[in-house]
Amino acid sequence: MLTITKEFHFSASHVLDRLPSWHPCARMHGHNYVVVLELSAPRAALTEAGFVRDYRELDAFKKWMDDTLDHRHLNEAMGGGVSPSAENLAVWIFDLWSARLPELTAVRISETPKTWATYRPAARGGEDAP
């Protein structure tokens, strides 16, 4: 199996409103997010050029991210009812993009330089228990 990754950046605010009121993340705050898309394919499935997928084909994701998430309030951008945690953001992005990028195996999200959340569903090489 061959794996490629590409890193993207955006800035946004959110409120984690399911936390106790004393928790600092229960107040509106923002992050400079890092999103890493991971795509994988078996050696036999590489393109004629030898790619899992041409990195330039990920330009559509960058445009979507800039238009949908950058300098937005994630509580609104992700739709109501979903807490915009890094974990839920990774799942949301994966679910939105896995049909367009069938090689997508994981989405990683960082809110700070020392924290990461990764979503890798079972059907694509990870675990995804209810």
Q: Which residues are catalytic?
A: 25, 71, 111
Write the CA distances from 31 to 19, 26, 37, integer angstroms: 18, 14, 18
**Nearest-angstrom CA–CA distance, 79 and 63:** 19
